[in-house]
Amino acid sequence: MRALTHPATVAFGLANLYLLSVTGPLISSGHDLVYHLTGSASAIFVPVIVYVLTLWLLLTGLLAIAERPGRMRIVAWSAAVFVLPSILLRTFTGFFGVVVPAWVSLLVGLSCLLCWIVIALRWRRLQPVFEAALPGVATILGFFALSGAAIFVQLVWFGWQARDLNPPPKLHRAQVAAGSPRQRIVWILLDELSYQQVYERRFPGLQLPAFDQMAAQSTVFTHVVPTGEYTRFILPSLLTGVPSDGVRISGAGLLVAMHDTGSHRWNRFDAHKTVFQDALDAGYSTGIAGWYNAYCRILPAVLDHCYWIYHEATPANLSPERSVGANLLAPFHRAMLAALRWFGAGSGSPSDELLDIQMHSADYRELLGAGDAFLADPSINFLLLHMPVPHPFGFYDRRRGRMASRHTSYIDNLALADMYLAHLRQLLEQRHEWDSSAVVVMGDHSWRTSLIWASSEGWTEEDEAASHHGQFDDRPGYIVKLPHEQVGSRVDERFDAIRTRALFDALLQNRLRTPEELQEWVRQR
pLDDT tens, position by position, 279-317:
999 999 999 999 999 999 999 999 999 999 999 888 888
Averaged pLDDT of the chain:
91
Hey, what domains does the chain have and what are their CATH numbers? 7-161 (no CATH), 191-242+270-314+350-523 (3.40.720.10)
CA-to-CA distance for 116 and 270, rounded, in angstroms? 57
**Per-residue pLDDT tens digits for 203-240:** 999 999 999 999 999 999 999 999 999 999 999 999 99
Please provide the distance, in angstroms rounded to a whole number, between the alpha carbons at the two ends of the chain.
67
Q: Which residues make Cβ contacts (< 8 Å) with residue 70, sequence separation at least 6?
A: none
Average pLDDT estimate for 46-63: 94
Please write the tens of the pLDDT for every residue from 390-422.
999 999 999 999 999 899 999 999 999 999 999
Judge whether residue 180 has pLDDT over 50: no
Closest to 201 measured CA to CA, from 487, 449, 488: 449
Return the top range by mean pLDDT from 64-73, 170-179, 321-330, 465-474: 465-474
pTM of the model: 0.92
Which residues does 373 contact at the CB level (< 8 Å), separation at least 6? none
Non-local (6+) Cβ contacts of 445 within 8 A are: 192, 226, 228, 229, 230, 231, 234, 474, 476
CA neighbor of 14 nearest in space, from 95, 76, 94: 76
Nearest 10 degrees: Cα torsion 67, 68, 73, 74: 120
Going by pLDDT thresholds of 50, 70 and 90, the confidence category of residue 466 is: very high
Report which of 232, 257, 250 is spatially closest to residue 162, judged by C-alpha positions: 250
Is residue 390 reached through a cis peptide bond, with omega within 30 degrees of 0 on the bond before it? yes
3-state secondary structure of 117: helix
pLDDT value of position 330: 79
Q: What is the pLDDT of residue 179?
A: 45
pLDDT band at 338 (very low <50, low <70, confident <90, very high): low
Query: CA-CA distances (angstroms) from residue 451 to 174, 235, 242, 350, 470?
Result: 42, 19, 24, 29, 9
- Peptide linkage before 393 cis (omega within 30 of 0): yes
Q: Measured between alpha carbons, how far is 338 from 332 in angstroms, rounded to an integer?
A: 10
> Is the distance from CB of 235 to CB of 191 less than 8 angstroms?
no
* Phi and psi, residue 161, nearest 5°: -65, -35
Total H helices, total E strands in the chain = 19, 15
Q: Is 469 left (phi over 0), alpha (psi -120 to 50) or beta?
A: left
- What pLDDT score does 178 carry? 45
Task: Flag whether pLDDT at 277 surpasses 70.
Answer: yes
The least confident of 108-122, 226-240, 328-342, 507-521 is 328-342
DSSP string, 381-428: -EEEEEE--SPSSEEEETTTTEEEEEEE-HHHHHHHHHHHHHHHHHHH
Residue 105's Cβ-count burial label (10 Å; 0-12, 13-18, 19+) is middle
* More confident: 204 or 1: 204
- Tallying the residues shown for the chain, one arrives at 525
